């Protein structure tokens, strides 16, 4: 075909051959986003038609910028080549992001995320991590916050000067029970059967008042000073006198169990009720015709009703269960009740028993008036009821309880002359025992777990040095998690151990073997810790070659039968023993031979702290107490510790320890070593062994996550006056996760009840919570940005309301959780 000379022009204009669409409707921001997307597609299509090679980012207009972005200035210098692979983001370190120019190329990164989540970088062993999640292995000793407090001089930190006890019994030569109005038979029984030669200062003041007078009383004294006998002995003495009076008048042989109920003692917790009943049974050994009984939550109502029908003279009860019996049990006759004791009044109000107490007092008043108008009273029985309120503090809620129950009450405190001129209590609180030796340990979040294990190994290293110790935690999940660690066989999880063999890694076989051992009391069932029925066993991790150490656990989520048996076994055990507990064990319990109290998690309020350390150094005996604090704002809590000591106490110094010192003493047992950093290797091996132990079982990983979540939630519930010391905004969540043997980022944890997703913007005075993404969308490596902000007053009010509602529901259901102590 001949060429006709015609030329077709297929050149594409600069503006392109496609018409750009026009966008209408919607918001301005949505229109701009759609316009940019369409323009980007148009430029790419035009470039392909012109034969241009596609690049990662091409724009038709080089000066076009994103919204809110400044245009880049032109430069004559050649543009540097971009790397083909994108460099990983630098993780957040100690809550601060450093600019690239200020970073040192040789600086070691703290977090080392693994490309393969099932293989660790440092050891090479496989780990059963979550699918798609990255395992993070960080060094224990890098990027830890520095302490702001300094150790005391050696001449003061020894803390070994002799101090006169402030809660010891008085000299038997000066004061005796008989001089206070106690009958010789009862005083002889106290001396021979209970080995009590003389009263304490508060017993001297209370017994002398209550034996002779029927007026209401408020007893205020420090922990461990004998408040229980201070109100029990006058009641028993008065009933013995009434019984003798009935014999003289030949009205009846004596007061018997069918004579009626004369005294009711209310206590906030079941454990304290059981303990009061035990002490009362010992006192009534000299008056066998008097019968005591208990009605508490968690036990069968049918058996309690049977005991009430048989007859009880002195009743020890928790408010919720007693109010229930008063409403539904016809056999419970309270018309003869002449003594009502409210023990631990501040705790009764904190747990929300005000409504139940009002019902009980109203019922007692109604029955008392009906009795006066009806049958004749027992000879010698007082006409009015005496109410006794016991508390160590004079807080607002205690004053409120006093207004409800007391009329023209006498304030009973120990005579300052009996305590070397120093007062026992003050208006806002009370003091720690003078003979108690206190110290605090400054431990970074990542080192908390290994430091606790090292501290306990050191404490129980020599037989007889520490017979019994208590470690307090903030929540039940944390108790279960640490109990599982201390009672497990960690030796096979150390690097190079025989446990790395395939047969030892079979989870099903391991669980079956553990269950068989648990029946013999030698190991703990490796399953969901909340379903365990084993509360005590031998701790192979803490037991040296010379002797064994038993570990116990106690919290409100356990069944009442387990709680009672645990306390009884721990009390009767004559070998070294360790009790892991929540605040359910902090009030009123008299556990003998407790030499050491460790507050691994600081108490939620100063009063709770004093009650915790009051489990040791009781009745004049010596004792030690240590609290773990994290570097930073928590170190300011030392001022609270100092304020708990009486002014002018000679030889009283609060010692200080740091993590390195604890690790050296607990892990280096072979004497002097050439390598000064040998304890670091030991601590790292121990931490990795615990992490491998947790990764070996999904149940253990779930337990670790729950413990971590519950700990962070509990951390936000400190009282407002002390929240400056325990500021959750300063809490490094990534570092803290390592203390729970977790290699996951907090944002990647999937725990039931854990909030994920975007949160509200931060505001002044807000309290943070964990959430799935950081506020500004930056790195999620587990730093302080992994929180959302909420208003503190609103959040605290909602939490308190929810906790009280749950407590009330659980009490009526006969159950308990970690917050329900009744």
DSSP states along 665-730: HHH--SS--S-TTHHHHHHHHHHHHHHHHHHT-HHHHHHHHHHHHHHHHHHTTS-GGGTTTS-GGG
pLDDT at position 143: 87
Backbone angles phi, psi at 285, to 5 degrees: -65, -25
pLDDT at position 687: 94
Locus of tokens 């001129």? 421
pLDDT greater at residue 764 or residue 57: 57
Question: What mean pLDDT is predicted for residues 781-790?
Answer: 37
* C-alpha to C-alpha distances, 353 to 120, 139, 608, nearest whole angstrom: 52, 48, 18
pLDDT at position 259: 87
Residues above pLDDT 70, as percent of the chain: 64
The 8-class DSSP code of residue 655 comes to E
CB 565 within 8 A of CB 552: no
pLDDT at position 27: 81
Would you say the pTM of this structure is higher than 0.85?
no
The 8-class DSSP code of residue 193 comes to T
pLDDT at position 710: 94
pLDDT at position 808: 61
In whole angstroms, what is the distance from residue 456 CA to residue 667 CA?
A: 10
In whole angstroms, what is the distance from residue 417 CA to residue 169 CA?
A: 14
Q: How confident is the model at residue 757 (pLDDT cuts 50, 70, 90)?
A: very low
Q: Which residues of 20-38 are buried (b: 16+ CB within 10 A; e: fewer)?
A: eeeeeeeeeeeeeeeeeee
Question: What mean pLDDT is predicted for residues 772-790?
Answer: 35
pLDDT at 525 over 50: no
Task: Write out the H or E segment, with its range, that includes residue 32.
Answer: helix 28-49
Three-state SS string over 764-791 comes to CCCEEEECCCCCCCCCCCCCCCCEEEEC
pLDDT greater at residue 522 or residue 349: 349
pLDDT at 764 over 50: no
Locus of tokens 């409403």? 327
pLDDT at 768 over 50: no
Span 71-99, pLDDT tens digits: 444 445 454 455 455 555 555 444 443 44
pLDDT at 383 over 80: yes
pLDDT at position 654: 86
pLDDT at position 784: 37
pLDDT at position 356: 93
In whole angstroms, what is the distance from residue 149 CA to residue 143 CA?
A: 18
pLDDT greater at residue 241 or residue 464: 241
Q: How confident is the model at residue 584 (pLDDT cuts 50, 70, 90)?
A: confident
Three-state SS string over 303-355 comes to HHHHHHHHCCCEEEECHHHHHHHHHHCCCCCCCCCCEEEECCHHHHHHCCCHH
Locus of tokens 């009390």? 571
Question: What mean pLDDT is predicted for residues 183-191?
Answer: 91
pLDDT at position 108: 36
pLDDT at position 51: 67
Task: Write out the H or E segment, with its range, that includes residue 429.
Answer: strand 429-430
Could you tell me the sign of the dihedral formed by the alpha carbons of 525, 527, 529, 530, in that order? negative
pLDDT at position 99: 41
In whole angstroms, what is the distance from residue 691 CA to residue 449 CA?
A: 11
Q: How confident is the model at residue 173 (pLDDT cuts 50, 70, 90)?
A: very low
pLDDT at position 702: 92
Q: How confident is the model at residue 428 (pLDDT cuts 50, 70, 90)?
A: very low
Helices 319-328, 792-812: inter-axial angle, 10-degree rounding: 50
CB 399 within 8 A of CB 349: no
Question: What mean pLDDT is predicted for residues 607-620?
Answer: 82
CB 607 within 8 A of CB 631: no
Span 355-378, pLDDT tens digits: 999 999 999 999 888 876 555 567
In whole angstroms, what is the distance from residue 342 CA to residue 387 CA?
A: 8
pLDDT at position 10: 52
Q: How confident is the model at residue 755 (pLDDT cuts 50, 70, 90)?
A: very low
pLDDT at 425 over 60: no
Cα maximum dimension of the chain: 150
Could you tell me the sign of the dihedral formed by the alpha carbons of 808, 720, 470, 198, in that order? negative
Q: Of 87-101, 309-323, 762-776, which range is least confident?
A: 762-776
In whole angstroms, what is the distance from residue 782 CA to residue 774 CA?
A: 9
pLDDT at 742 over 50: yes
* C-alpha to C-alpha distances, 618 to 283, 621, 714, nearest whole angstrom: 19, 5, 29
Question: What mean pLDDT is predicted for residues 759-780?
Answer: 35
Note the CATH number of domain 431-693.
Answer: 3.40.50.300
Q: Is 814 exposed, middle or buried (0-12, 13-18, 19+ CB in 10 A)?
A: middle
pLDDT at position 606: 86
In whole angstroms, what is the distance from residue 593 CA to residue 595 CA?
A: 6
Question: What mean pLDDT is predicted for residues 119-135?
Answer: 46
pLDDT greater at residue 536 or residue 601: 601
Q: Of 112-121, 165-174, 229-238, which range is least confident?
A: 112-121
pLDDT at position 452: 96
Backbone angles phi, psi at 594, to 5 degrees: -85, 115
Alpha helices in 129-172 (DSSP H): 154-157
In whole angstroms, what is the distance from residue 607 CA to residue 589 CA?
A: 15
**Length of the chain as a residue count:** 822
pLDDT at 433 over 80: no
Three-state SS string over 242-288 comes to HHHHHHHHCCCCCCCHHHCCCEEEECCCHHHHHHHHHHHHHHHHHCC
Fold of 201-429: Rossmann fold (3.40.50)
Q: How confident is the model at residue 815 (pLDDT cuts 50, 70, 90)?
A: very low
Reduced to 3 states, what is the DSSP secondary structure of residue 606?
Answer: helix
* C-alpha to C-alpha distances, 155 to 31, 158, 160, 653, 655, nearest whole angstrom: 75, 6, 10, 10, 11
The 8-class DSSP code of residue 742 comes to -
pLDDT at position 98: 41
Q: How confident is the model at residue 478 (pLDDT cuts 50, 70, 90)?
A: very high
pLDDT at position 124: 40
Provide the token pair at 295.
Answer: 């009605």
Paired sense of beta strands 468-472 and 436-442, if any: unpaired
pLDDT at 67 over 50: no
pLDDT at 799 over 80: no
| Helix/strand number for the chain, H first, E second | 22, 19
Provide the token pair at 453.
Answer: 């294990």
Count of Cβ atoms closer than 10 Å to residue 596 Cβ:
23
Instruction: For residue 340, give the nearest of 290, 388, 381, 383 by alpha carbon.
Output: 388
Backbone angles phi, psi at 491, to 5 degrees: -60, -35
Span 130-146, pLDDT tens digits: 444 566 677 888 888 88
Provide the token pair at 461.
Answer: 């290293």
The 8-class DSSP code of residue 497 comes to -
pLDDT at position 685: 93
pLDDT at 818 over 60: no
In whole angstroms, what is the distance from residue 617 CA to residue 106 CA?
A: 52
CB 785 within 8 A of CB 775: yes
Q: How confident is the model at residue 752 (pLDDT cuts 50, 70, 90)?
A: low
pLDDT greater at residue 708 or residue 95: 708
The 8-class DSSP code of residue 587 comes to S
Q: Of 59-68, 93-102, 152-161, 400-409, which range is least confident?
A: 93-102
Q: Is 349 exposed, middle or buried (0-12, 13-18, 19+ CB in 10 A)?
A: buried
Report the side by side order of strands in the sheet with 292-295: 292-295, 314-317, 263-266, 339-342, 386-390, 217-219, 410-412
Question: What mean pLDDT is predicted for residues 291-319?
Answer: 92
Span 621-647, pLDDT tens digits: 888 999 999 999 999 999 888 887 665
Q: How confident is the model at residue 43 (pLDDT cuts 50, 70, 90)?
A: confident
pLDDT greater at residue 248 or residue 340: 340
Mean pLDDT taken over the chain: 75
Provide the token pair at 745.
Answer: 């980022």
Count of Cβ atoms closer than 10 Å to residue 726 Cβ:
22
DSSP states along 518-586: HHTTSS---S-GGG----EEE-TTT--SS---EEEEE-TTS-HHHHHHHHHHHHH--S-EEEEE-GGGS
Question: What mean pLDDT is predicted for residues 401-409?
Answer: 88
pLDDT at 523 over 50: no
pLDDT at position 5: 56
Question: What mean pLDDT is predicted for residues 237-260?
Answer: 81
Q: How confident is the model at residue 379 (pLDDT cuts 50, 70, 90)?
A: confident
């Amino acid at each position: 075909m001949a060429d006709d000379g015609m030329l077709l022009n297929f050149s594409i204009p600069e503006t392109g051959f496609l018409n750009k669409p026009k966008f209408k409707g919607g918001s301005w921001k949505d229109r701009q986003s759609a316009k940019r997307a369409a323009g980007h597609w148009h430029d790419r299509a035009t470039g392909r038609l012109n034969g241009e090679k596609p690049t990662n980012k091409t724009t038709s207009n080089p000066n076009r910028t994103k919204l809110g972005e400044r245009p880049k200035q032109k430069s004559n210098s050649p543009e540097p080549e971009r790397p083909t692979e994108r460099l990983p983001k630098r993780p957040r370190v100690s809550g601060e992001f450093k600019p690239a120019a200020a970073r040192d190329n040789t600086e070691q990164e703290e977090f080392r995320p693994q490309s393969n989540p099932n293989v660790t970088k440092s050891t090479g062993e496989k780990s059963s991590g979550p699918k798609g999640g990255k395992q993070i292995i960080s060094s224990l000793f890098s990027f830890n916050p520095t302490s702001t407090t300094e150790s005391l001089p050696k001449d003061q930190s020894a803390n070994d000067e002799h101090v006169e006890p402030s809660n010891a019994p008085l000299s038997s030569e000066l004061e005796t029970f008989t001089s206070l109005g106690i009958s010789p038979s009862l005083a002889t029984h106290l001396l021979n059967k209970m080995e009590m030669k003389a009263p304490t200062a508060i017993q001297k003041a209370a017994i002398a008042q209550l034996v002779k007078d029927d007026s209401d009383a408020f007893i205020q004294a420090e922990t461990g000073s004998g408040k229980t006998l201070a109100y029990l002995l006058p009641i028993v003495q008065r009933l013995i006198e009434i019984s003798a009076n009935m014999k003289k008048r030949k009205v009846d042989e004596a007061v018997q169990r069918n004579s009626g109920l004369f005294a009711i003692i209310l206590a906030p917790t079941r454990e304290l009720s059981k303990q009061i009943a035990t002490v009362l049974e010992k006192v009534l050994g000299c008056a066998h015709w008097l019968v005591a009984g208990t009605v508490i939550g968690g036990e069968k109502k049918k058996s309690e009703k049977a005991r009430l029908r048989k007859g009880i003279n002195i009743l020890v009860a928790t408010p919720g269960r007693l109010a229930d019996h008063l409403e539904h049990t016809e056999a419970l006759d309270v018309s003869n009740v002449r003594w009502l004791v409210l023990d631990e009044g501040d705790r009764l109000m904190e747990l929300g028993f005000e409504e139940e107490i009002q019902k009980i007092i109203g019922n007692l008043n109604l029955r008392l008036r009906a009795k006066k108008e009806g049958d004749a009273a027992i000879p010698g029985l007082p006409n009015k009821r005496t109410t006794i309120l016991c508390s160590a503090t004079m807080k607002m809620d205690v004053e409120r309880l006093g207004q409800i129950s007391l009329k023209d009450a006498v304030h009973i405190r120990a005579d300052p002359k009996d305590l070397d001129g120093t007062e026992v209590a003050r208006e806002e609180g009370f003091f720690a025992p003078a003979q108690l030796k206190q110290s605090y340990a400054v431990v970074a979040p990542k080192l908390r777990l290994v430091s606790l294990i090292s501290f306990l190994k050191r404490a129980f290293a020599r037989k007889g040095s520490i017979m019994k110790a208590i470690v307090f935690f903030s929540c039940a999940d944390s108790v279960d998690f640490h109990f599982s660690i201390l009672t497990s066989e960690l030796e096979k999880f150390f690097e190079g151990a025989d446990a790395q063999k395939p047969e030892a890694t079979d989870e099903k076989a391991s669980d079956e073997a553990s269950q068989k051992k648990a029946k013999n009391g030698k190991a703990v069932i490796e399953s969901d810790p909340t379903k365990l029925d084993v509360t005590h066993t031998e701790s192979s991790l803490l037991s040296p070659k010379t002797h064994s150490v038993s570990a116990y656990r106690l919290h409100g989520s356990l069944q009442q039968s387990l709680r009672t048996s645990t306390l009884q076994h721990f009390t009767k055990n004559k070998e070294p023993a360790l009790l892991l507990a929540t605040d359910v064990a902090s009030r009123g319990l008299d556990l003998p031979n407790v030499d050491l109290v460790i507050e691994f998690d600081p108490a939620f309020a100063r009063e709770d702290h004093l009650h915790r350390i009051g489990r040791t150094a009781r009745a004049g005996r010596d004792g030690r107490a240590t609290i773990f604090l994290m570097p930073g704002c928590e170190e300011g809590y030392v001022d609270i510790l100092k304020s708990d000591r009486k002014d002018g106490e000679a030889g009283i110094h609060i010692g200080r320890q740091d993590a390195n010192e604890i690790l050296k003493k607990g892990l280096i047992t072979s004497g002097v070593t050439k390598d000064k950093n040998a304890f670091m290797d030991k601590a790292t091996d121990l931490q990795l062994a615990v992490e491998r132990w947790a990764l070996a079982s999904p149940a253990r990983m779930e337990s670790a996550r729950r413990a971590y979540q519950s700990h962070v939630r509990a951390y936000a519930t400190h009282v407002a006056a002390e929240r400056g010391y325990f500021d959750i905004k300063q809490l490094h969540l990534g570092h803290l996760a390592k203390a729970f043997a977790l290699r996951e980022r907090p944002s990647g944890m999937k725990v039931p009840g854990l909030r994920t997703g975007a949160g509200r913007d931060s505001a002044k005075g807000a309290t943070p919570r964990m959430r799935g993404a950081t506020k500004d969308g930056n790195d999620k490596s587990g730093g302080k940005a992994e929180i959302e902000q909420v208003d503190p007053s609103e959040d605290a009010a909602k939490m308190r309301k929810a906790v009280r509602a749950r407590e009330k529901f659980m009490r009526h259901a006969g159950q308990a959780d970690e917050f329900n102590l009744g």
